[in-house]
Amino acid sequence: MKTQALLYYIGAFIFSGLSVLTFLQLHKASDQMEAGSFIMIAALCYYGMVTLFFKASRKTFFIVNGLLAILALGGIFFNSMIFGGH
């Protein structure tokens, strides 16, 4: 089995498990939609990064990975300014 196919199967297993857990544990429809949309965005990012790793140049992969890391850190530190807080 190729490594790319294995990573796709692992991602499908992880994100389908997260989806099942979301609908089993959350009871309000708004919470389910919020969690489901986050899981879908995370799955798209995962599959995009796996595809980018195998199809594009390594430099492009590392640039996109670095941008995602910067956005994640910015989201952590500026979360209350972006989304409001207590």
Residue 86 pLDDT class (50, 70, 90 cuts): low
Instruction: Determine what percent of the chain is predicted with pLDDT higher than 90.
Output: 76
Instruction: Note whether 44 and 8 are within 8 A (CB).
Output: no
In this model, does residue 83 exceed pLDDT 80? no
What's the confidence (pLDDT) of residue 48? 94
HSE of 63 in the Cβ direction (CA atoms, 13 Å)? 5
pLDDT at 84: 74
Average pLDDT rounded to a whole number, residues 47-54: 94
Measured distance between the N- and C-terminal CA atoms of the chain, rounded to whole angstroms? 50
The DSSP result for 30-55, as a single string, is HHHHHHHHHHHHHHHHHHHHHHHHHH
Q: Confidence band (pLDDT; 50, 70, 90) for 85? A: low
Which pLDDT score, from 0 to 100, does residue 76 have? 87
Quick check: 49 and 61 in contact, CB under 8 A?
A: yes
For the residues 13-23, what does the mean pLDDT come to? Answer: 95
